[in-house]
Amino acid sequence: MLKVAVIGLGWWGRKMIGEIARSRKLRAVRAIDIDPAAGEFARANGVAFSPDIQAALSDREVEAVILCTPHSRHREQIAEAVDSGKHVFCEKPLALAKRDAEEAVALCNARGVVLGVGHERRFEPPILELARLARSGALGSLLQFEANFSQDKFLALPADNWRLSALDAPAGPLTATGIHLLDLAVSLLGPAETALARVAQLGSRLANGDTLGALVTFRTGANALITAILATPFFGRVALFGSEGWAEVRDLSHPEDSKGWTMTTCRRGGQPIAADYPPASGVLANLEAFADAALGRAPYPMPQEEMVATIAALEAIVRSAESKAVERVEA
């Protein structure tokens, strides 16, 4: 089993501890958080605790770190982990700037450690099937990607939480949920070319915005329409349209507590066909794929060029939300 340290015991760090406890491929041996009160949670879950990340980086038992920390800290913490010879699993987004994502990839490759990213939606069974249909040519030429990932979980956060900070979470809903959809679009359509986005504070007190709409164009000529809202009950939908058919995946619940999905496909000349998928944890599947790669069993299935391309597109969306103009994605 891959022995890991979870850095950050906020909402998602605690979720990670729970997922790892169900795995036969990873084991959490240490947890880090600057809040000493988080130690009670760690110890209750049989994990050693420290308020200092250096305790994990200097621990020879720790083979990898899982970063569940503010986004602006990722570049610095990846560099520290790599310098200590640890494999790195970084929660999304990998970085807030393309150059930082490129540096993270280069540092990991130079040291020969695996870099994983928390884009768990790639690992959900119906999304894997959607990707298979797209890559097999069954949908024909890919024309447009449409997706919505909305929730209201952040309404309960205190105003000083880093997830509501313009520094750590620019364009609000983008770094919360929209980034997952952007990553899926990049994985299906390739590098993005331009972005036009609007972020507004319409239904909440979330200072960095609660409603995102983005139109992203790709070098292939295809489009992605992405919606992410932080002031409405959960809704999740991903759809891909091609010249020979389309496929749509609808979530039955928030992925944090999956209750399954309904996937509908329609081929030219045919009728829509719906299929139900049982609950599954994309989070755990992603972590275990990372463990397999770190232990040399299989390559990590997320191409590094896509990791960087997603952040390049994110950067353009953030610029567009500020300028209210079409922004080019850095090549």
Six token digits for residue 297: 């069993």
Q: What pLDDT sits at residue 159?
A: 87
The CATH code of the domain at 121-328 is 3.30.360.10
Residues listed for the chain = 331
Q: What does the domain layout of the chain look like in residue ranges?
A: 2-119, 121-328
Mean pLDDT of the chain: 97
Residue 299 CA, chain-centre distance (Å), reads: 19
pLDDT per position as a tens digit, 112-151: 999 999 999 999 999 999 999 999 999 999 999 999 999 9
Write the class of the CATH domain 2-119: alpha beta
Distance CA 12, CA 70 (A): 11
pLDDT per position as a tens digit, 182-233: 999 999 999 999 999 999 999 999 999 999 999 999 999 999 999 999 999 9
DSSP-based three-state secondary structure for 324? coil
pLDDT per position as a tens digit, 254-266: 998 999 999 999 9
Q: What pLDDT sits at residue 328?
A: 98
What's the whole-number mean pLDDT along residues 231-245? 98
Other Cβ atoms less than 10 A from the Cβ of 93: the count is 27
pTM of the model: 0.96
Residues 280, 286, 287, 292: is their CA dihedral positive or negative?
positive
Q: What pLDDT sits at residue 183?
A: 98
CA neighbor of 329 nearest in space, from 227, 219, 235: 219
DSSP 246: E
pLDDT per position as a tens digit, 244-253: 999 999 999 9
Which residues, in sequence order, are CB contacts of 248 under 8 Å at separation 6+?
A: 237, 238, 239, 240, 263, 264, 265
What's the whole-number mean pLDDT along residues 164-192? 96
